[in-house]
């Protein structure tokens, strides 16, 4: 079958993945797509088994005092499992990036040069309390011709194990070792991150703690799918009704995700008109507000913000609120405190929108829309492994093309260099 599961050592798993990756690079699209459909069908057929395993993780999470945000990330339901299956099918329906010609042409000397996409090889994904990533990462890796090593958190151990087993059994037509589930302690994670020449890329998907843990030991190239301290800025020209809908959605729709808003910035020209209604709407959804002095002048019942609030990824129903005097001040605030993930401006002023788009140093910039759309599924990628907040190779949602490198294919008819 296509997977080797956690009783195997980290090195053996990685070596098996390396051998599988060489074969996967040449597997036809139809075979990969059939495997993804088989995985999706198996997930739906075995929902009771998946939910039973997830219930064990949830029970342990409650006993260990996991936060509401982490419990929400951990929880699977019938609908969520079916959504994961739908994501696998959506990935199968996408064009295969392997072999795609990115650039090329005929040189003056007659050489034909093509720059084509190729798989990276072995991709390791390390993630916290998000069992859906087990399938999302496996599906994206397989479709893009990569073997995948999965390392979930102990809080989702039962869920990840059953999901990986189901994927392995369903994808039996793919090379053995294509999917590996890495177990063990912190030492096993360190070993995984140091397998130069075997593992081609490691993607940590989680908070700053995971990012620091990987960066301290990694010898393998890393793309960080890191934290999201996201902002919504309401400009002086904003449609205030739309702005209220956007901030409520960005904060409340699923507060435990990295693309939820953590700070609201409001232009001073509209603060008196916008804040009372927005505060009431947010409080109606259970949001705790922490504002600067100008916000508290409008509503003294708002809790006073402290300096650390501006840089915090709350992942909870908590929102920092600040009044600013210009789009430039909003841009400066975001660039100082933001994590480079997703930012939004609500405005009817095109020059303000353009300044925000050009001035903010983040992966995704929205004009008149919620930050909650930063998601591979919403962007038409089927799913994602995470959202990269760095600048090299991949930035934003990590989908099929981001799991590929390129190579040059050069054809001639006897040319030699003078």
Instruction: Indicate if 174 and 199 belong to the same structural domain.
Output: yes
- Give the pLDDT confidence score for residue 3 in this predicted structure: 46
Residue 244 maps to which CATH number? 3.40.309.10
Domain that holds residue 26: 3-225+385-411
State pTM to two decimals: 0.87
Q: What average pLDDT does the segment 6-14 reach? A: 83
- Give the pLDDT confidence score for residue 7 in this predicted structure: 54
C-beta atoms surrounding 382 within 10 Å: 23
- Give the pLDDT confidence score for residue 167 in this predicted structure: 97
Instruction: Indicate if 300 and 397 belong to the same structural domain.
Output: no
Confidence of residue 224 (pLDDT cuts 50, 70, 90): confident
Instruction: Indicate if 320 and 399 belong to the same structural domain.
Output: no
Run of H or E including 330? helix 327-337
- Over the stretch 325-346, which tens digit does the pLDDT of each residue have? 999 999 999 999 999 999 999 9
What is the number of domains present in the chain?
2
225 forms beta bridges with 205
Instruction: Indicate if 274 and 139 belong to the same structural domain.
Output: no
Instruction: Indicate if 238 and 368 belong to the same structural domain.
Output: yes
In residues, how long is the chain?
A: 418
Instruction: Indicate if 102 and 47 belong to the same structural domain.
Output: yes
Q: What gap in Å lies between CA 41 and CA 373, rounded to an integer? A: 27
Instruction: Indicate if 217 and 261 belong to the same structural domain.
Output: no
Residue 400 maps to which CATH number? 3.40.605.10
User: 39 lies in a domain?
Assistant: yes
- Give the pLDDT confidence score for residue 2 in this predicted structure: 57
What percent helix, strand, coil does the chain show, rounded to 5? 45, 20, 35
- Over the stretch 354-405, which tens digit does the pLDDT of each residue have? 999 999 999 999 999 999 999 988 998 888 888 898 888 889 999 999 999 9
User: 26 lies in a domain?
Assistant: yes
Task: Label residue 41 exposed, middle or buried (CB < 10 Å: 0-12, 13-18, 19+).
Answer: middle
User: 378 lies in a domain?
Assistant: no
Q: What gap in Å lies between CA 232 and CA 371, rounded to an integer? A: 8
**What b/e string do you get for 130-149 counting C-beta neighbours within 10 Å, with b at 16 or more?**
bbbbbbbbbbbbbbbbbbbb
User: 62 lies in a domain?
Assistant: yes
Instruction: Indicate if 195 and 248 belong to the same structural domain.
Output: no
Strands (DSSP E) found in 128-260 = 147-151, 179-181, 201-205, 230-234
Range in 4-13, 27-36, 58-67, 200-209 with the lowest mean pLDDT: 4-13
């Amino acid at each position: 079958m296509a997977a080797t599961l956690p009783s195997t050592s980290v090195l053996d798993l990685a070596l098996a993945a390396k051998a599988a990756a060489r074969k996967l690079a040449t597997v036809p699209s139809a075979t990969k797509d059939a495997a993804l459909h088989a995985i999706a069908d198996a997930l739906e057929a075995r929902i009771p088994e998946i939910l039973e395993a997830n219930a064990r993780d949830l029970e342990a999470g409650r006993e260990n005092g996991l936060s509401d945000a982490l419990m929400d990330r951990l929880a699977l339901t019938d609908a969520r499992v079916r959504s994961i299956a739908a994501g696998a099918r959506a990935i199968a329906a996408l064009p295969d990036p392997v072999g795609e010609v990115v650039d090329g042409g005929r040189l003056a000397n007659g050489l034909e040069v093509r720059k084509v996409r190729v798989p990276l090889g072995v991709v390791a994904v390390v993630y916290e309390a998000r069992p859906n990533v087990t399938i999302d990462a496996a599906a994206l890796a397989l479709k893009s011709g990569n073997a995948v090593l999965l390392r979930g958190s102990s809080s989702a151990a039962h869920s990840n194990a059953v999901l990986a087993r189901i994927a392995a059994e369903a994808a039996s037509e793919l090379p053995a070792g294509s999917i590996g589930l890495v177990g063990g302690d912190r030492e096993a994670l360190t070993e995984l991150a140091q397998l130069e020449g075997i593992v081609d890329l490691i993607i940590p998907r989680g908070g700053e703690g995971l990012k620091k843990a990987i960066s301290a030991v990694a010898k393998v190239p890393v793309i960080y799918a890191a934290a999201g301290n996201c902002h919504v800025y309401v400009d002086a020209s904003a449609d205030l009704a739309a702005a209220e809908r956007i901030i409520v959605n960005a904060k409340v729709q699923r507060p435990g995700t990295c693309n939820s808003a953590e700070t609201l910035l409001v232009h001073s020209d509209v603060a008196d008109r916008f804040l009372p209604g927005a505060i009431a709407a947010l409080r109606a959804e259970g949001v705790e507000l922490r504002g600067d002095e100008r916000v508290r002048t409008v509503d003294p019942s708002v809790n006073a913000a402290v300096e650390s609030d501006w840089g915090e990824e709350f992942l909870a129903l908590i929102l920092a609120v600040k009044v600013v005097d210009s789009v430039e001040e909003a841009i400066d605030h975001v660039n100082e405190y933001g994590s480079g993930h997703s930012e939004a401006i609500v405005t009817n002023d095109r020059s303000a929108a353009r300044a925000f788009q050009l001035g903010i140093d983040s992966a995704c910039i929205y004009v008149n829309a919620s930050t909650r759309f930063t998601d591979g599924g919403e962007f038409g990628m089927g799913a994602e492994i995470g959202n990269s907040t760095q600048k090299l190779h991949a930035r934003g949602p990590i989908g099929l093309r981001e799991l590929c490198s390129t190579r040059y294919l050069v054809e001639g008819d006897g040319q030699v260099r003078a």
